[in-house]
Structures are given as C-alpha cells and as structure tokens.
Structure 1
C-alpha cells in the first residue's frame, strides 16, 4: 500500500473542514470536561468528607487513567486509525458522565473519573497527532488556534458548572453529579464530524516512521519532557486548586471563586489566540522561556500580595497558555515522520509528572496546614498550607522556564532553533 505522505487531506476541502471541526470541537469539549471540576471539587470534598490529602490523592489516582491511555493510544492509532480512536475517546467520556452521575462513594467516583481520564488521554493524543499531521504551515499559530478552543470552553466551564449546580430539575438539584452528566454528554457532538471525515497519515509505512528507539536517544525529547511536565502541572493544577484556594484562604463565595477561575481561562484563551504568531516569529524555545517565567512570577506575586492581588492568579494564565501548543508545534516540525511516537512518549511521561504534581500539592497543603494549625482545621495553619501548595504551582512554572532555557541553549549550539 502506498504511503500517505501528505499532511493535508488530498480528497476535498469538505474533508479538511471535517478534520478541523473534529480538532476544534474536540478541544472545546475537552476544555469543558477538564475544567468543570474547579467549582465541583469543594462540593465533592464536602459531600464525601475528604481532606486535602485525600483530594490530592483522588486527582492523582484518576490521572492514572489519563496516563494509561497515553501508553496505548499511539498503538491504537496505528492499528485502527485516528478516526476510530477519536470515536472511542468521545464515547468513553460520555459513558463516564453516566457513571459519575451514579457515584455516591469515594471508590465509585474514583473509578468513574478514571474512565473519564482514559477518554481524555486518548482524545488529547489523538487530537495532537491529527493536528501535527494537518498543520504544515504556520504550525505555531495553528496549534495555538486549535488549543484556543480548549481555553474558550475552559473560560466559561467554571461559571457554567457553578451555575448549573444550583439548578433544580423535576424537583431535584443537579449538584456536581448532574453537571458532569450534562457536560460529558456533549462529547457526542464532535463524534459527528469524526465519523464523517477521513483522517490522514494512518497509511504511513512502518519503515518510514522514526522509531521510538531513535526518538528516545535524542536529548531534545528529554528536554521537551521536562518543559512540558512542569508547564502542564502549572496549567492543569489551576483548574483543580484555584477555586479551593480562594474559598478557603480568603472566604470567597463559590460564584466569586469560579469567576476568578474563568478570568484565568479568559487570559489563557486570549493568549492562545494572540500569541500564536509571536511564537512563530521569535521562535518556539525562546517563547517557552519568556511565557513560563511570566506565569511563575505572577503566581508568586499573587500569593505574596494577598487577597488584593488575586487578579494576578488570572493574569498568570497569559504566560502558561502557549506552553503546551508550542511544544506540540515544535514536535510537529522536528518529528514529521514520527509525530505520533514523539507525542505519545512526551505526553506519557508528562502524565507521570501530572500524577505526582497533584499528589505533591495535596501533600504540601496538608503537611504545612498540620505544621502550623496546632490541631485546628482553619485559621493560620490552613492559610499557610494553601499558600505553600499553590506556591508549588508557581514553582513548576519557573522550573518550566529554566528547562526551556536549557532547550534553547542546546538547540542554538547545534543551529537547530525553530
């Protein structure tokens, strides 16, 4: 069989539009599924009576589903194609919404989230691989544009989640279970263009692909792992911990805290829309250094300034937003014939870091709280614990910048800057 050497579909403009709809709407739904948890987590914690350590463990254990999906998705793509993998990912996310709705205990909820994260992991790999194959020109701009839709839904997700949890339907309040059911059922929408479209690259011959052994020997891949791991911990942790921080540290209402999370994602979304061309102009590696450093500085400034500086938590989204799509753009340019392998390798290791990151935030928060609380569950001990835990998020952004500097230095010495 002849190898498919084109990244854009050769068949028709209609097919390309279906591919774009799969990517853009897919990221839109992905953003909803990932970021309704901000307002939901305090309710889940209260309903199931979980402490901060259990909460961090819950998020970490459920991230294992995401990690597991990362390990087998590339193989599935090669065996059954991106189309089938995309349909499977969207379908598993919809089914997980039903299971979350029926969850009334910690173990059942963990299992339901585990399934949702498997769908999320498969979807993220699938969309990233599809994007790497079809975005040949202005890669940084197009990658940021596709991830813009993730940021767009992430912006409104906390407000929608917070609002829906107070809605009564047939005499019953939706609460967090009903919200997850409604939002995750939206996964069925992008199944339509995914089903109707044809996807490029699946016919690439095995001998034409860059093998994993060759990719794993490239020092750049390990630097990318470091940059992406620290960057994604700093990005994803905000969705899980910012609302919790604002409600418990400053006594904010659920709606006000959700509003600040939405402000973070508004900055996040606009940055991806505006800064994509900047990454193409000044280079991927330099962009990573500057943007992640800005995010880390804003986060620490917000913590040190106190409640009056809380807006800096939102502004930090400007810096962290371009990290993931810029890494994907760099991978797409550097590993054209092995993008699926490179993306899977990097994202899998990033998943390990994400699991550890949520665990560390929970452990740091609980540990510092106990150290300063004197047996009390609120007051100065809790505040110091929350500040220390959130400070870890800012630290990861700064470590992302440091790792990006070493990446920039390595590529510059070899004349490989992109």
Structure 2
C-alpha cells in the first residue's frame, strides 16, 4: 500500500504531466492554426487560386475539424482521452509530411483535411481534460491554458514569414517546408501524454446527463450560438488579415505578418490577464463586454482605413477570452457530462465555421466582381476585402448580442455562473 506522502507526490506529478499535456498541446495547436496567415498568399499564388477557391479550401479543411468533433467524445469514452490525444498529435505530425509533398489543389486540400482532423480531436481532447482537472478557478485556468495557444499564435506568423525565406541545402523552405517543420513539433506534447495517467474516463453511465437532455436545454443552444460567432471572428483573422493588409493596403509580407502577430499579442495578454476578471464578474457578462469590444474595434479599423490598422490587432484583446470562457461555463454547468456537452457545442460550432469561412470568401469575391463590372474597377478588390472583413466584425457583435440573451435567460432562472 502506498503511503499518504507517496500517493500525494504521485498525484502531484501526474497533475503536472496533465498540465504539460494541456499547455504544450495548446502551444502546438496555436502554431498549427496560425502559420497559415503568411502562407496563404503564397499558396494562392503558387497554385493560382482565386478568393472563392481560397475560401472553399479553408471551409473544406474545417470539415475535417467538424468530422473529428463528431466522433472524438465517443473515442474518449471507448479508449480514453490519453490515447485520443496521442492520435491527434500523431495526425498533425503526419499531415505536415503530406503538406510538404503537396503540389496540387486537391492534394493540399486532403493534407489540410487530415491536419484539421487532428486539430478537431485535439480541441475536444484538451477541452475535456481541462474540464476534468480545472475544478477551482475554472475561468482563470481555462484562460491560462488557452494563453499558450495565444502565445504560439503571436509568434507563428513571424516564424512562418521568416522561415519561408530560409534556404536549406540550396533549397528555399517556402510554405511547404514551414508546415513540415512546425507540425513535426507535435511529437513534443506526446511525451507528457505518454507518461501521465488521465483519470475520469470511467464516469458511471448513471452519473452522466444524457445527450438528449443536454440538447433540450436552451442554454446549450445559446452557448452554441455565442461560441460559433465568436470563433468565426477569432479564426477568420488568422486566415484573412495578412491577405487583407497586403492586397488592400499594399503592405509588405513582413509588415502584414507583424500586424497579425500584434493581434495575437493582444489576444495572448488578454487570456493571461483577464481570466481572473471572468471569474470575478461572471462568465456571461464577460462575454457580452469582450465580444462587443472586439466587434467595435474591427468596424472602427475598416472605417479608419490604413491609419486605423492597429485596431485590427486591438480587437484580439476582446475576442481572445470568448472560447475559454464558454468552456469554463460548460465545465461548471455540465461537470459530470462535460465531454458530451463540449462535443455537442464544438461540433455545431464547427458547422458554423465551415459556413463562415466559405461565406467570407464568397462575399469578398462577389463584391469584388460587382465593382469590377462597374465604373470603379480599381476599387473592386478593396471593397470586396472590406466587405469580407466587416463580416468578421459583425460576427463578434452577434456573439455579444447572443451572450446578452444568455445572460438574461440565466439571470431570469437564477442560474448565473
């Protein structure tokens, strides 16, 4: 029999391994998601894609994420969150090899599809693990774990932009080499995942809230809506900001990547510093204020033109806490069925992200063609890009609006968290 001191030491060691898996996992996740900012204009040029094809590419990739969301909770119950996390990291590393070998639009789409399957599994796996181990100061700890996503997201555009110009053995790395190197780092968080023990997979069936009961809860649908609009606004920046600044204002790649990094710097600091605020003033009130701030910054940046470009970066401070705060709310409200609730919300959010990316591409292309057909041909692309980016700001404002409806519902039923 283990002594109490030994058991306590073993428990502490395991908790540290769990934290490392979550924190380093989000660090790698941020890199994989946000190296695409500087890479997308090169991919578009290399494969000769128009904005519609680009939007379709991002949407098809999100389908891989969505597919993973539909089966990950089932896998967690069957084989455990530990094995699921290892499969997710392995899929991401393998996708880096396939992206490196991609020289056509279909092959690249398939490679990104695999990467997003890994991302989707990792998203659910890390969220479930976080919900299980962060039982105190949930908002603070959820924001802290997602801080590591923001940290890597901050440097990812600069790393990506810099590496694409590096020559190795007489060959420039370009975007394919960058994806290979960055995604290969997915093996690093596999080390604490292998060494740790992830408890909580054997929750008794009678202790779980049935999925049908969760689906009948109006709060879960409001959470789906809040998170969907928030995440569309958050993720779209990584895919479209560099493209917008280069094509609308003629910025150099390094300058545009720097602004994307500034966005993620604000994003990262917000997750590091605002977690305790969300615990103090309440999750839903935080969502209303922060999402509204992000939306207003985005619209102000578009209206102000190039001198107001810094407001695109400042918007990151508002949108950053949305995802972890919603996860914290889910973890507190559905403590014994967090895997089912998280999967339900994130899966439907994935559908919205697919439609959101597609719509931004279609709107940008449609407005561009509309102006190109008229007298103001030279402004077509600018107006298209502005319309597409305005949709990103609109999503943040809609996130704030539905967070207000959630706040009103919870307050009316005395269920504010």
Same fold (TM over 0.5): yes
Q: 1:405 Cα shift?
A: 0.4
1:71 pairs with 2:70:
yes
Matches within 5 A, 1:279-290: 279-290=278-289
- Alignment match, 2:372: 373
- Alignment match, 2:166: 167
1:45 pairs with 2:44:
yes
- Alignment match, 2:56: 57
- Alignment match, 1:122: 121
- Alignment match, 1:386: 385
Q: Distance in 2 between matches of 1:247 and 1:63?
A: 24
- Alignment match, 1:241: 240
Deviations, residues 80-138 of structure 1 (Å, cap 9, x unaligned)? 00000000000000000000000000000000000000000000000000000000000
Q: Report the more deviating stretch, 375-384 or 297-306.
A: 375-384
Deviations, residues 301-353 of structure 1 (Å, cap 9, x unaligned)? 00000000000000000000000000000000000010000000000000000
Structure 1 segments, 4+ long, off by >6 Å, are 375-378
Matches within 5 A, 1:4-403: 11-374=10-373, 379-403=378-402
Segments of structure 1 that go 5 or more residues without pairing to the other structure are 1-8
Q: 1:377 Cα shift?
A: 11
SS in 2 for 1:89: helix
Aligned residues: 410
Q: 1:11 Cα shift?
A: 4.7
Q: Distance in 1 between matches of 2:17 and 2:28?
A: 16
Deviations, residues 166-196 of structure 1 (Å, cap 9, x unaligned)? 0000000000000000000000000000000
Q: Report the more deviating stretch, 9-18 or 286-295.
A: 9-18
Superposition TM-score, scaled by structure 2 size: 0.97
Q: 1:209 Cα shift?
A: 1.0
Q: Distance in 1 between matches of 2:121 and 2:283?
A: 26
Q: Distance in 1 between matches of 2:378 and 2:282?
A: 46
SS in 2 for 1:308: helix
Q: Distance in 2 between matches of 1:131 and 1:379?
A: 50
Q: 1:10 Cα shift?
A: 9.5
CA 1:114–1:377 in 2, change beyond 3 Å: closer, same or farther? farther
Q: 1:373 Cα shift?
A: 1.5
Segments of structure 2 that go 5 or more residues without pairing to the other structure are 1-7
Q: Distance in 1 between matches of 2:378 and 2:105?
A: 27
Q: Distance in 1 between matches of 2:125 and 2:168?
A: 36
Q: In angstroms, what is the RMSD of aligned CA positions?
A: 1.2
Q: 1:246 Cα shift?
A: 0.1
Q: 1:378 Cα shift?
A: 7.2
Q: Distance in 2 between matches of 1:150 and 1:200?
A: 24
Q: Distance in 2 between matches of 1:275 and 1:377?
A: 45
CA 1:262–1:403 in 2, change beyond 3 Å: closer, same or farther? same
